[in-house]
A and B are shown apart, each in its own frame.
Chain A
Amino acid sequence: MAADRLTVVGRSVPRLDARDKVTGAARYVSDLVLPGMAHAKLWRSPVAHARIIRVETERAAAVSGVLAVLTVADLPVKRLYYGPAYRDQPILAHEVIRYAGEPVVAVVADSEAHAEAALAHVDVRYDERPAATSAEEALAPGAPLIHPKLDRAGHFRDLSGLRPVPGTNICQHFEYERGDLARAFGEADLVVEDVYRYPALSHHALEAHCAVARVDADGLTVWAGTQHPFPVRKDLAEIFDLPLAAVQVVVPLVGGAFGGKCYTKIEPLVAALATKVRKPVRLALSLEESARTITRHAVTVRLRTAVGRDGTLLARQCEVVLDTGAYADIGPRVATKTGYRAPGPYRIPSLRIDSKCVYTNNVPAGAYRGYGVPQVTWACESQMDVIAERLDIDPLALRRKNLLKRGEEYVAGDTPMDGDMAEGLEQTARAVGWSAPLARGRGRGLACAMKDGGGTHTVSTAVVRINADGSVALLAGSVEVGQGARTALAQVVAETLGVPFETVVVVPPDTSITPYDHGTSASRSTTVMGLAVEAAARDAREQLLALAAKLLDTDASALAVGDGTITHGDRRLTVAEVISGHYGLVGGEVTGVGSFVPGKWSGTLGGATVFWETGMGAAEIEVDPETGAVKVVKYVSAADVGQAINPRECAAQDEGAAMQGIGPALFESRVSERGQLLNPGLIDYRVPAFTDLPGELDSLLIENADGPGPFGAKGVGEGGTFCAAPAIGNALARATGVRLTELPMTPERVWRALRAAGRVENP
């Protein structure tokens, strides 16, 4: 369908949930109240690594209102361990404590206050052990072995290729090599080598992790703020030895996630507690506790690149080390993907990639908006500017020279580049005023990156029900974490069916009602679920037209659909008239079913991707030499969205992502000492505030309707996070001649670097 004939898709309709959200009517998991509901609180380990000797619960159990005080041994479960890559994480600490903050004991009481009061009376005796609290320590000879044995979860095809290194803390070792590296480095005109560091970060979605569980004759129901209701259902079914049909996972609105609510987190524990006390149980973590549940990987990248005199990239060697914490979570896949994307979106004949995912005695690290790309892009795009500077080539021209062109393969057998990155970067540079004169103390920098989008070998299914009154219900398991998926999917349904947008209702994810979906991550909802939804709507439309054709005594191909009406010449039938006409009563419905099943897994490196999600960013900054403070005067982000289903929401996603890149660029960072997180909450962990909004923040949407999704859409949402740090770092270097290789670029770090370089006078 040509873009100019679209009526609903491509329009910035208001979000379906906007009114509820501005009136306070919107309900999240943390708002759920069930009759007779009990509340749980967790006793967390103060030490990073220890053997549990004894847990004394009697005094805590005697506290008023307390229903149960439980250790892992008391939980009524078939299996203690879970995890998407390895089944390595116990529901509560089992014999061993592996990180400071790990839940060891759960208290269930009639109120949160009583549960909290009882925590003070829990007495845990443990024998502290040496801890490895950084990847370097965990890789050192003689490091404590955090998981002597590993049990593969077997959940995913791509993870069946897990390569742990026995006898070490490496739970995934990803390697790739092509070309003649030695020769390329030998013949290069320039070889640059740098080490870049990216710290661990906290997601700090404003709604902390929360789940409520209830057990009754029908089975187990869990309401959870999860991005993966179906994988969580699978884990629960296995943990409690129940059929999938007896486990129901329901997801209302989610107060932010950013990857922090991917896969199973607190759900098995809440379900076990509800089973034990025979009452509904709610566990609402504090924001600090969420920060002790999951983090973004701290990553070290050693990058060595061989370049010709004209700036042609000849070879690159990437060594990536990720600190995945005490439990692997989805870290092994993050490590694989991080390695996969470490070279950047360039044509490089010879390549060697080595990416290690390392267990440490830190908080587990998992998914976080970009899945490792922001970390390696910090390295890769900083070094591109180092190369440009050494060769005296304009950074934009250097990138243009090496960027993959549309249709060019990144790795043989993988999806070829499906957009025009050089053109996108050009537009971004123009928007920031790349070649305009600069005021003193100012600099401009840019960066670009790409990520395989849509998830690896993931499935989505959807059902579209046209009701007898002409209203339409969409059953889709995509979680509304704020990205606007429900609105975009409703637009796809309305456009495909030819009905008004207002007639479409989207049913929230409920594993017992909405059909299977892999999950809400990897910028996949609009594209991958979007295709399933479009197919379901087409199916429903064909059935509807067949019914109408019978009623009108004509051929379905002779009918036109639009605005909820089916027309044949001057004869018209509303959708409602078709359905009631067919069934001969005022009831009945038409049900359309659709699915997305990925193509055969191919490719030698990361596998075929649904689409490439690209991100382009450019910054103009001002540096205060007195304080080292960096102010972002202007930031331009560009996202190739193929076709924007809802342009305003696409741009809003990209802007939000850009801010989630600017925060870590300038100030965000988890600070730990010997495994103790020193800034768990928002008092000490600074996230971007209103005053951090750049003087100008712009998002460019590139729309060539060339995506694989409905109406040519591509996923959006992660790309904006990729480039902020390197673009700002490159701007800093161009403004001052000083380059930082470790984030965040705090005023102190910048000031010290300026002083070390003699750029500021000593007072």
Chain B
Amino acid sequence: MREIPMTVVVNGEKHELTVPAWETLIECLRDRLGLLGVKKSCDVQVCGACTVLLDDRPVSACTVLAFEARGKSLRTIEGLARGDELHPVQEAFVEHGALQCGFCTPGMIMATVALLGENPRPTADEVKHYMRGNICRCTGYKRILEAILDASRRMSGGAKGNGGAKGNDGAKGNDGAKGNGGTKGTDGR
């Protein structure tokens, strides 16, 4: 059994782990770290329920191996709110009623954070195409679209001037601990 030692920063917290080579990232996050907000559904990288951010890029935790996160920074739904204060994307999802059963919601929100990181003011069509890999069986998507567009307006209003609009790769190279603290400023990228 090949065991791989790794350091990974999850939601701003550093973890030293030893994982079997074939352990998937979703197993690592749910079973090892107890991050149960990461949802397992299709298990074949179609539905997006397990979307987490690996160095700010959205990945399906069901088909990424845990060791691929070695030396990188991971962000899950649990790392988004700051105490009682919700992330603007979370706020928008609540206010627009952009959820029903909620099983897709963590993945949907993480993909939205990634989208708005890459493209702070997407058009409705850009949202639809970016989010195509996140399936919601309940809502019919309309309210999710509205929530995302609203979050985009709120965040680009609040994040102007921090120069972080292209900050996706900015977290690379450091251990990612910074920029994952969930402050409104950094989230505004």
Contact = CB atoms under 8 A, between A and B. Distances in A.
Interface of A: 12, 14-15, 17-28, 30-31, 204-208, 253-258, 286-287, 481-484, 648-649, 652-653, 655-660, 681-683, 687-693, 697
Contact of A682 (B37, B47, B105): B47
A745 B145 CA distance: 26
A23 B143 contact: no
Given A14-B97, A682-B44, A689 B103 contact: no
A204 B81 contact: no
Can you list the 9 inter-chain pairs with the closest CB atoms, starting with the nearest? A24-B37, A482-B101, A21-B102, A255-B103, A482-B100, A24-B77, A659-B140, A655-B140, A682-B46
B33 interface: no
A205 B39 CA distance: 13
B73 interface: no
B42 A482 contact: no
B93 A22 contact: yes
Given A481-B101, A687-B137, A27 B36 contact: yes
B135 interface: yes
A652 B128 contact: no
B168 interface: no
Interface string B79-120: 011000010001001110101111111100100000000000
Contact of B137 (A31, A205, A286): A205
Contact of A18 (B94, B133, B140): B94
Contacts of A20: 102
B41 interface: yes
Nearest to A14: B94
Contacts of A692: 141
Contacts of A30: 39-40
6 contacts: A14-B95, A19-B94, A205-B101, A256-B137, A660-B140, A690-B129
A221 B92 CA distance: 38
B21 interface: no
Tell which of B37, B77, B100 has the most Cβ of chain A within 10 Å: B100
Tell which of A23, A204, A649, A692 has the most Cβ of chain B within 10 Å: A23
B41 A208 contact: yes
A656 B139 contact: yes
B131 interface: yes
Given A206-B47, A287-B42, A682-B46, A17 B37 contact: no
Contacts of A659: 139-141
Contacts, number: 161
A659 B103 CA distance: 17
Contact of A22 (B44, B49, B99, B133): B99
Contacts of A206: 39, 41-42, 47, 49, 101, 103-104, 135-137
Contact of B42 (A12, A31, A258, A682): A682
B43 to A, nearest CB: 6
A693 B77 contact: no
Contacts of A15: 94, 97, 99
B67 to A, nearest CB: 16
B81 A690 contact: no
Contacts of B109: 22
Nearest to B93: A22
Contact of A256 (B76, B94, B138): B138
Given A24-B35, A27-B36, A693-B145, A256 B103 contact: yes
B132 interface: yes
Contacts of B36: 24, 27, 31
Contact of A681 (B44, B49, B140): B44
A683 B93 CA distance: 27
Contacts of B95: 14
A697 B140 contact: yes
Nearest to A635: B140
B102 A655 contact: no
A24 B141 CA distance: 19
B112 to A, nearest CB: 11
Given A14-B97, A31-B36, A286 B140 contact: no
A207 B129 contact: no
A649 B97 contact: yes
Given A23-B37, A24-B36, A681-B42, A482 B135 contact: no
